[in-house]
Amino acid sequence: MLDRRSPAYRILQRPREAMAGFPLDRSGRVDWVQALERGLIRPRARVGSVGKMELRTSEILMTNTREMPHVVFPHRQHTEWLACSNCHPKPFEAREGANRITMDAIFRGEFCGVCHERVAFSTFACERCHSVPHPGSPARWW
């Protein structure tokens, strides 16, 4: 939260002005992945540094989704922003099958919910994660 009493507050660029023209998702929020892919933003590897991010391109398919489409976790979109240490070992243990991720846990702010619905897209943009149809999953609803 910004301190409105600070003398510096008056010289800060307002978010609406800074993000004018940024791509929006269907809920009207900035689509940060699209902004990154279009070159509108360039995350830094380190504060005050021009080093490169440690890009990882592997994907994880999560199939324990009941009737919902399966989830693909794309490392690339995350590692373009974040160092591995932001997520490992907490909130995710970096070992297959080690994390019991549920929507209840995400809604409580655990696992993906540490960022999503806070600084990343809404947890109610279901199709952003649940993107791999399987027999028994519903037809596209978005």
- Distance between CA 142 and CA 140 in Å, rounded? 6
pLDDT in tens, 54-112: 899 999 999 999 999 999 999 999 999 888 888 999 999 999 999 999 999 999 999 99
**SS3 track for 23-79:** CECCCCCECHHHHHHCCCCCCCCCCCCCCCCCCCCCEEEECCCCCCCEEEEEHHHHH
Give Cα 30 distance to the centre of its chain. 12
- The stretch 116-138 carries a mean pLDDT of 90
Look at residues 78, 91, 85, 71 and name the one whose alpha carbon lies nearest to residue 32.
78
Which pLDDT score is estimated for 133? Answer: 94
pLDDT in tens, 83-95: 888 899 999 999 9
pLDDT, position 1: 66
Using omega within 30 degrees of 0 as the cis cutoff, is the peptide bond preceding 89 cis? yes
Supply the CATH classification number for the domain 56-132.
3.90.10.10
